[in-house]
Structure formats: C-alpha cells, structure tokens
Amino acid sequence: MAETDKDDLISLIQDDEGEIDIPDELPLLPVRDVVIFTDMLLPLFIGREKSVIAMEAAVEHDKLLFLATQKDPTIENPDPDEIYPVGTVGRILRMLKLPDGRLKALVQGISKAKIIKYTQKKNSYRVKIELIKEQAAEIISLESEALMRNVREQCEKILALRGEMTGEVGSILDNIEDPGKLADLVASNLRLKTEDAQVLLELTDPIQRLNKINEFLSKEVELSAVQAKIQSDVRDEISKSQRDYYLREQVRAIHKELGESDEKTHEFEDYTKRIKQAKMPKDAEKEALKQLKRLQLMHMDSSEASISRTYLDWLVEMPWSKSSKDYINIKNAQTILNKEHFGLSKIKDRILEYLSVRKLNPKMKGPILCFVGPPGVGKTSLGQAIAKAMKRKFVRISLGGLRDEAEIRGHRRTYIGALPGRIIQGLKQCGTNNPVFMMDEIDKIGSDYRGDPSSALLEVLDPEQNVAFSDHYLNMSFDLSKVMFILTANLTDTIPSALMDRMEIISIPGYTEEEKKIIAEKYLLPRQIKENGLHSGKSLTISPNAMDEIITGYTSEAGLRNLERELGTICRKVARKKAEGKKGGVTVTRTNLEKYLGVTKFIPEMDQEESQIGLATGLAWTQVGGEVLYVEASLLPGKGELIITGQLGEIMQESARAALSFARANMDTFHIDKEFFESRDIHIHVPAGAIPKDGPSAGIAMATALISAMTEAPVNKYVAMTGEITLRGRVLPIGGLKEKALGALRAGIQTIIIPEKNKKDLAEIPKNVKKKIKFIPVKQMDKVLAIALEAVKPKPKKKKTGKPKK
C-alpha cells in the first residue's frame, strides 16, 4: 500500500542534475489520494505486496519507477482500468524498511509520461511508457507574465491569511520564470481534489495550466478569508467570555468584602448549566431561560420565586432526550416470559412478535396493548416481564377510581400546589422517555364535574397524537411516542368505545385446575416457603392430593391470589412449629389438611344438587371468571302471571319472557293443555339473589327450566348450557365461552350445550378441558331439550308436505 504523508511539505529541486536516461519500461507503483508532479519530492509508505515488489525491483536496477494515481483509493488491488494512464516517472532518493514489513521511501518526480501497455501483471505491474513533452515557451508573452504575476499574488494572499507568509517563500516564487514549473509548484502545494489535480497533470500547455491554477487559487482565497473571519470571531468571543468572567469575579469579590450572600448567583449559574445539560427542544429551552431571567429579578424568599424554582426543576429533570437502549434478544425474551409466567402462549407470542418487529424497525411506534382478564391471572406481572425482556424502565400507575382529568393532564401553574399529571410524573420518576408504562384498572375510571379522565387519555394513547402530548403544568409538548403503554382491565364493558378503538385487546383467561397445580408447585409454593423463612423445600412438602383439595375445596377463582394466600397460611403454621423447636420436615396430605386450613370452604356444586325438575344449569361470565348459574322454575296456582326474582337485569328479564313465549307457542309439541297457563303462575328464580345479574346468555337455560317444570321431565345435572333464545327457538351466539368452560370444569360439569356459531371458539379452549367436557353445538331449542331433559323428549315438528308429484 502506498500512502502519502501530506503534512511532510513537498519541496522542489531547483537545479538540474544532468540528463537522466529513462527506459521505456518501468515498474508501476499505484498511489492513493495524491497526484505527483514533475520536480516534486514526496515521502511514501508502501505496504501492499505488489507495491513492495515494484519498489524492490526499481532499487535493484536504476531506482526509477512509474507513479500513477488510483481512481478509487479504497481498492486494495486495483486493475489496470482503475489506474489513471497519465502519471510521473519518479526516482527513489532514499528507502528504509520498517519493523512491520512496510517500506518508507522518498521519491522525486522527474518527467510526465503515459502508459502505452502493461507488460507484466502477475506479481507486480510493469508498464511500457511514453514520455510527455511540454510545449516550450521560449519567449514569455505579456499574457503569460500577467498570469504568472496573478498566481504569485494570490499565493501570497493565501499565505498571509493563514499567517504562513515568509520572505523565503516569496523569493522562491519570484525566481521561477518558467510558466510550467510555476504551475506544477503551486498545484503540488494546493489542497486539490485528486480528480482536479489529475486534470492539471494531463494538461501539456503551461498557459492552460496557469489559467486552471488561477481558478483554484481564487476559490482558495475566498475559503481562506472566510476561515480567517471565523477564527477572528472565535477569538473575539473568547475575549468577551474572559472579560465577562473577570467582571463576575470582581462582583463576587465585592459581595464577599461586603459580607453579602451570593446564593442567587450560584443558583442562576446552576440552573443555566442544568438547562444546557437537559438537551431540551428549542421551545422548551427558550421557555426555561425566560423563566430563569424572571427568577433573577425576584426576591429569593418570595412565593413567586418558589413557584418558578419548582417549575424549572421539573423542566430540567424531565428526560427530554434520555432513552434506555433496547437490548432485544428474542430467545432471551422468551426465556424471561416463560420463567415469569406459565402458559399464556398466545399472549407471549404476541409480545415476541412485537419485539421482533421492534428489532427490525427500531423507529416503529409502540403499540397500545390492553390485557383483559380476571384478577390474579398475572396481567401486571406480565408488563414487568416485558420491561425486563427489553431492559427498559417500568412505570406503573393505578387508574381505579380516578375522576379528575387533571390527574392525567396536570394542573395549571396558577393554582397553589400545582403539579404535572401522572404521566409526566411517571416519566420523571423513571428518568427515561421510553419506559414500559403500565396503567392498571382502566375499566374502573370514573368521571364527574371535574372532567372525564378517559377523554384525556385519548391523546396519550393515540400514536399519531402523543408525539406532542401537552401537560397543563409544563405548558409545552412532550414526546410520548417512544413509550410502550400497557393497560389492564377486568372487563371491557365499561371502557369507552373511543378509548377501546386505540388499544389492541389481548384476553388473558382464567387458569384450569391443572394449570393452577403446576403454577402452585413451581412458583407459588417455593416463593411462600422463602418468604416465610423456611429456606428449603425439605421443610414443607404438600402432596399432590392435598394440592388438588386446596385448589378445589379452599379456592374458587379464575386467578391465583387466594391460592397463594392459602399456601402462605400453611407455610406460616409450619414456620411456627419450626420456631417452637420441631425438627424435621412437615408433609401436608389430604388427611391432615384441615389442621392447617380448617374446614372446606367450597363444596363442588354437583355435590349439592341432583337431577331435578325445573332446575337447569346455565353459565355466566363475570369479571372474576366463569361461573355456573342455576335457573329455577316453579308452577304455582294462579292466573298465568310470570314472576321473576334473583335481582335480574332488564336483559335477563326479557330473556325470561322470550323463553315463556317460546314455550307457549310450542304447547302442542310439549303436550301442554291450552288451559295450563290460565290456572297457574310461573316463577323463575336465579339463586344468589344478593348479586346483580344480567345478559342474554341464560335464555336457553330459562327455557329448559320452564319446559322441564311444565312437562315434569328432570334436567340432567351434568349438562350446562349457554346461549340466547329467540321466539322461534333459534339459539344465538354468546361471548366468554372459554371462561364459562373453565367455570363449568370447576363445578364438575360433563357436557356443555353451546350455540352453533360459537363452534369456532372451541379452538381457544385448552385441550385438557375438551378431554373432560363434551361440547355440543346446536342451532335450535329442540335439540337443547333433547340433550338436557332426561325422561321426556319433545316430539319433532311436523314438516309441511307439498302436493304429490304426478
């Protein structure tokens, strides 16, 4: 590799050393980023293998070689078409071999030449050359003289602007009478682009070269003048800063002599420094400096000064440009999610998909995810796991019971004790502008005369708008587009539709008994053992049968909180025994479980009921998961009135009326007398009367209970059902099938009747649930009754027959 050191200033040989015999074939040395002119001395560093061979070949013969410039300096081994054909024959004056194997040489340009052809290309290049003779100027014309004088004057201007002009340089320029030599001297010292220098080298007419040099010199004069002005301005600014510093020091000394406090000056300097370090946007920095000037004019102990200080503290401590660097490793993130949470494969896949896209496109706007599910299923801890996987800060705020819009947007500074909203407070607390920001219980936001917080959240949770979120206290926009917002809710019913539209809903269902057992053994029990000071799993062992009994007999929930509490109760009782001196481990079995937890709290529903007339099992979906819902129907002497009890909502009452109308419309099918309804009242009751209930999905259960009571056919106790009924007996689809199925599993149900249109939802139900429960899709009420009623089955409807074909 041939490299040039441009800082070692090129000089020229002024005297002739006699004629040099130049052969027509020479070794070729390609050089980078420099064009060599005649009479130019140039230090070179040679490291490329071909270049080293060429140098050694030249030294062994007459120390002559041909120097040509590469068109592209980045190419390590240039081909012949990547080297300029016009170059300079050079003579090696001195050569030194360096310890690293490179060569350092001093080369002098002798004569211009051009490549005729390449005679060797294998180990190093050898070329056949033809010398280029310049047009001699025997008599210097008036134009040539003027050009030469102009070149000298411009050179002197440039050197004067740079502060490098000396008498020796001036005399060298004056003593050169040959136009070509003057042009080569100036060209070799100008900071020209390689392409421009090559153009000059290839010009054989000295006058043309001088004209071209004049153009370059004019541009260089302008650049040198601007550079000199910039340096002068910088020196003036430094002088002004030094003067200001000197004056401030004098003022400080005067204050010190007078015994006056200088806290105000220190405070001003501190705020100025912090404002610059905060790297705010221009409008925020402008406002901060404006407030700082106002603070300077105030008395230090005034209330207004205190308000200004608080405001400035918020401005300088906000993470305007401070971000956590994302370390996204998909395998590592998957490991963290699996370690922190069992199951939830669909949710984990969605999170890993987002992280994958984020890795490929770091500038993408963060999604607004909303985890919806019963309490205790791990919604909040899932957000923490996401932050851990991305190595971001985690911020959590609870929105439950929030009624004031100012909690989101902040209060205006005109109010006493004003503060920013909880979004800005959370960002300041974590110290970065791209945390994982979790908002818990978004379905429990309220509203009153102070405003609607959910409306204020519309701007926060809109990726197109939150790039310029405006807080009332800061009174300027803050970019929230880098924040990853995660929200949690138990139900979506109470979330405003405009807010729902901005979020991606991810449902987190309850856990099956098998999943609870695995989670309890792997996560909950080891954690409780550690927290209660038992230190080792050998201190306490819970048998599989005992764990099953704890799950079914002492807890009844979709989540895991009560299960962990019961395990904590056992651990505390064992810890007491240990503290009292008991040695050895403790084993909890189904037999001795009552010693630790007392009597069973929840008896499975199937242990309480047998197949009865007028008692159907429905399914309900609440914010704490799926539950079985018993519907009772009784016939009383009366005048055909419908009595509905059990604190049912309007929709459920309408379902009861629709069920009764269906039964009356099909009296013939079920062998019911027409006078039946005139002499009897019908009472429909849904137990747990203290709990409000509503929704259309109990329609077919109500119809089954009614028809069971009328026909005296018992309803199979192992069959549950869910679906909306129409007057014509059609079964319409419902929601929350997975949660209802889990509730049915806990109650010991073996068969669930579902609407035909909910058949697609069976894909979401775990395989172990489908092994234990049989799901039967139906379209009409006739099939529901055929499955649910044990003794009497309805007669099939007679089909209308057309006229016989002839």
pLDDT in tens, 521-534: 888 888 888 888 88
Handedness of CA 362, 365, 371, 376 (dihedral sign): positive
3-state SS assignment for residue 646: coil
* Average pLDDT of the segment spanning 269-280: 85
- For residue 678, what is the DSSP state? G
Contact 533, 575 (CB under 8 A): yes
Query: How many Cβ atoms from other residues are within 10 Å of residue 417's Cβ?
Result: 7
From the list 122, 239, 132, the residue with the least C-alpha distance to 180 is 132
Q: Please give the structure tokens belonging to residue 14.
A: 């002024």
Least confident segment among 193-197, 456-460, 507-511: 507-511
pLDDT at res. 704 = 93
Q: What mean pLDDT is predicted for residues 133-155? A: 73
Bigger pLDDT: 34 or 222?
A: 34
Q: What is the pLDDT of residue 233?
A: 73
The one-letter amino acid code at 457 reads L
449-462 mean pLDDT: 81
150 pLDDT tier (thresholds 50, 70, 90): confident
What is the pLDDT at residue 5?
A: 45
pLDDT band for 733, please (50, 70, 90 cuts): very high
Token pair for 640? 């055909």
If one compares 654 and 269, the residue with the highest pLDDT of the two is 654
Least confident of 45-59, 233-247, 286-300, 425-439: 233-247
* Amino acid 469: pLDDT: 87
Q: Residue 706: what pLDDT?
A: 92
733 and 758 Cβ atoms separated by less than 8 Å: yes
Question: Could you tell me which of 626, 589, 590 has the C-alpha nearest to residue 605?
Answer: 626
pLDDT reported for residue 757? 92
Q: What is the mean pLDDT of residues 241-256?
A: 70
Query: Which one, of 109, 24, 100, 92, lies nearest residue 55 by Cα?
Result: 92
> How many other C-beta atoms can be found within 10 angstroms of the C-beta atom of residue 164?
9
Q: What is the pLDDT of residue 553?
A: 84
pLDDT(276) > 50: yes
- Condensed to tens digits (0 to 9), the pLDDT of residues 540-570 reads 888 989 898 888 888 877 788 888 999 999 9
- Chain segment 684-702, per-residue pLDDT in tens: 998 876 677 778 888 999 9
Express each pLDDT in 430-446 by its tens digit: 889 889 999 988 888 87
- Average pLDDT, stretch 153-157? 77
Give the CA count within 13 Å in the CB-facing half-sphere of 417: 1
1 close to 46: Cβ distance less than 8 angstroms: yes
Average pLDDT over residues 119-136: 83
**β-pairing, 41-46 with 103-120?**
antiparallel
Q: What is the DSSP letter of 613?
A: T
**Among 239-248, 317-326, 330-339, 718-727, whose mean pLDDT is lowest?**
239-248
Confidence tier at 705 by pLDDT (50, 70, 90): very high
114: tokens are 């051009």
Tokens representing 760 are: 């697609």
Residue 137 has pLDDT above 60, yes or no: no
Where do we find the tokens 């610059």?
Answer: 276
Q: 759 by DSSP, 3-state: which?
A: helix
Q: Which of these, 408, 411, 450, lies nearest to 307 by C-alpha position?
A: 411
Task: Determine the pLDDT at residue 186.
Answer: 81
Q: What count of other Cβ atoms lies within 10 Å of the Cβ of residue 535?
A: 10
Q: What is the mean pLDDT of the segment spanning 287-300? A: 81
Q: What is the pLDDT of residue 776?
A: 93
Higher-pLDDT residue of 624, 293: 293
Are the CB atoms for 194 and 69 separated by under 8 Å? yes
- What is the pLDDT averaged over residues 258-271? 69
HSE, CB side, 13 Å, CA atoms: give it for residue 271.
24
Q: What DSSP line would sit under 683-748, residue for residue?
A: EEE-S-TTS-B--STTHHHHHHHHHHHHHTPPBPTTEEE--EE-TT-BEE--S-HHHHHHHHHHTT
Q: Where are the beta strands (DSSP E) in 566-702?
A: 586-588, 615-622, 625-637, 642-645, 680-685
Does residue 3 surpass a pLDDT of 60? no
Q: Is 646 exposed, middle or buried (0-12, 13-18, 19+ CB in 10 A)?
A: buried
Q: How far apart are CA 732 and CA 615, in angstroms?
A: 22
Per-residue model confidence (pLDDT) at position 611: 82
Average pLDDT of the segment spanning 379-397? 87
pLDDT for residue 6:
39
Greatest mean pLDDT among 81-85, 192-196, 303-307 lies in 81-85
pLDDT of 231: 76
Arithmetic mean of pLDDT over the chain = 82
Bridge partners for 92 per DSSP: 107
d(CA 396, CA 409): 17
Contact 130, 73 (CB under 8 A): no
SS3 at position 541: strand
Residue 76: what pLDDT? 86
Report the candidate in 323, 322, 307 with the shortest Cα–Cα distance to residue 475.
307
pLDDT at 449 over 80: no
Positions marked catalytic: 697, 740
Query: Higher confidence at residue 137 or residue 378?
Result: 378
Tokens coding 669:
């099918």
DSSP 524: I
How far is Cα 795 from Cα 212, in angstroms, rounded to an integer?
110
CA distance 659 to 702: 6
**Band of pLDDT at residue 803, cut at 50, 70 and 90:** very low
Q: Are strands 751-755 and 719-721 parallel, antiparallel or unpaired?
A: parallel
The pLDDT, as a whole number, for residue 477 is 87
Measure the CA–CA gap between 744 and 626, rounded to whole angstroms: 7
DSSP letters spanning 171-201:
HHHHH---HHHHHHHHHHHS---HHHHHHHH
Global confidence as pTM: 0.57
Distance CA 455, CA 476 (A): 19
CB 343 within 8 A of CB 314: no
- The total of other beta-carbon atoms located within 10 Å of residue 127's CB is 25
What is the predicted pLDDT for the residue at 498?
A: 86
Q: How far apart are CA 662 and CA 670, in angstroms?
A: 11
Instruction: Identify the weakest region by mean pLDDT among 160-169, 182-191, 608-617, 730-739.
Output: 160-169
Mean pLDDT confidence for 773-777: 93
Written as one string, the DSSP assignment of 141-177 is -HHHHHHHHHHHHHHHHHHHHHT---HHHHHHHHH--
User: pLDDT over 70 for what percent of the chain?
Assistant: 89
